Structure 1
């Protein structure tokens, strides 16, 4: 068996579309398809069973005998059974198809069916009508039916959902016994349910196959674990520390208001007559080519630009040039940039890196409170790094350092979080990790996010406001 999906686009009744899928599977491999809810996991598995309308590209090498278990297939069987109750068509109410007929539609090994019925403890139910079963019981019927068909490819969509502990363990062991004879594709949300025999992992997002990972590649595997954790975890952005809370702002005032701003060097204007307002709880994406003035604009907000005093700038309740200090402004801002990462060369542990955000320091030079330690641990849990709390920051990968610095900037819940090209220098996996964290922050806090990058089309869920600068 050598299945090949070559630039395949598949439509599912105009409800969902898989786009330009390139994927190869051979009979020595066992795959897990994973991703967030609605990403296309089940759709990709269904393609292997011949479901969906092919729009473009090719699918080849799929064996004739595919055993599939999915909620969709289960629902179709139940719906077909319910139709037998239609009194307008039938003279009597149907008792429904018995389980033993569902288990063997005519092409399965009856001896194997009997063995599986015993394994799944379904002996007392084989004469019952299929539609009278509970959801968990009907799920077991679907599993027995697929396994007993002795398929050349087994496709199992969330096979462990709804199973009791005994049945789950038994099924894991049974699937392991098939490893040498049947290639398998499993759709799973949870990393802790991945069977040991899985050799490869496919990560899908928004209908596109984003990553294909060999399970033996520990670095890629750990990065994918973090990405899926951030995408699917129920953990929320941790609360601020009430003992080190930032002063309250007037809710009626915008965070930032720039009125007719000009920035020029000699006779060359970088920014010309710009008006821009950032309201509370707004999220913005700032984009533009090199030299368009993105950095200048940020430094006007932070108070680091010398021309901020000759412009009409209102930030966090201060009219610039009226005697306020730069630290009065910066207490309301969380800032992450590549330059900050270059400067943050300390070897302190990850928990302390996050705690340092309460003090805007590089390194931690103040004894942390128990509350601050708890909040830092909650951030580490959100990032999937709880087991690395005491690992030195300078021992982390470049991408993990960026995630930690975003958490550090957010720990005090600043009214404005500025992320200055946070994906710069990151590979695609780490870029997606950072974007997933930004989405989590946008959805789960009252902090306004200002996300700066080169590409206005590189959108983040939750960011609905855009400012694109042009080079003069």
Structure 2
């Protein structure tokens, strides 16, 4: 064995989530190489990382983890409990946080309720409580500074934005003092500034001796990466040094849906107000921390807006007002669908005309909620289905399952299906009731490159068919449909 080789996968047939994912996987990782793995399937990219971690099944071939040989021999001689995983940090796309009772029983509204958010640990508490007592160069102070969490250390983890949560997950990985650092699409959810800074983050941890391997899109190869490999179900189809990499253009394609069925399922909303959203000097804060400060914004029926802002600028808080989840709504001067909040309407009156899609929604559904039940829950604006559907409702839900090719996943728990299937299910949940306003908050996050394009073009097709009002949040300009013509930016 070459002493530089850290890990080698040889002629492996890999089974992941009950099916053969790779037929003949070969890969060699040498010391000093820092890899970006790209491909057309997010599930395959995740399976590749899980193979390194030994959470997939090899029906043939083998994987040799040379990086851990000395460590395993030392711990064995000492009689200590050990695993090669002690030397690995892994940041997946489905990180889950727990409350102070060590239960993952948060509900979606809790993050916007000042008192109930205290059920969750602060960022500082969470880092310290979930970091193993392993000697090494990384501590709370330098990890917090590197990942720009120092000003958030006393904040509840439930109050973090999507991008801030991602940075927390990266910080926890460093606190494990890893030799290998594996990351599954780590730039997902980061704003443009944070994505640009991600290369600096990689350079710092690489200079400390950490070996990096991450999955990403072909358009986002961060600084610090030395080698790139293209992955398919046939295995690694190409590998090359970063300096020899040329970006390929996406080939032409057609939407994979029955467009006639899509048109049949979409119903034009009936607007009876001058504005869908009207905010006048809206300010939201928690303690001394001001999240929104005197925000004014009017969204008229049929308009399509992009909502922009850096991580932590208040986008999620603003959206929480629009979907009826923020208890501070009643002290603010704003109207939805022509009706001022706090004039006797129920939360269900607010939710009924609004469809909402966000990647974090999935983790708030109980584990017994199947893909079909999640879609059906959109008819009742609940986080799960808790009543029997009538024949008309049953038919409508089944048609959305058919449209987005989700029939084979219908009876599986939403938590057990691939991320891209989760995203289509959550979109179907938002559309099944025929909303007047559709809010998409990083809605295609976690999808692979081609699926993101399909998602964007699907939304474009919807906007072309019905005059629905849209608010779209994304840190990626290429994810925004061309029908979105207005921009509102939070500073």
TM-score (normalised: structure 1): 0.46
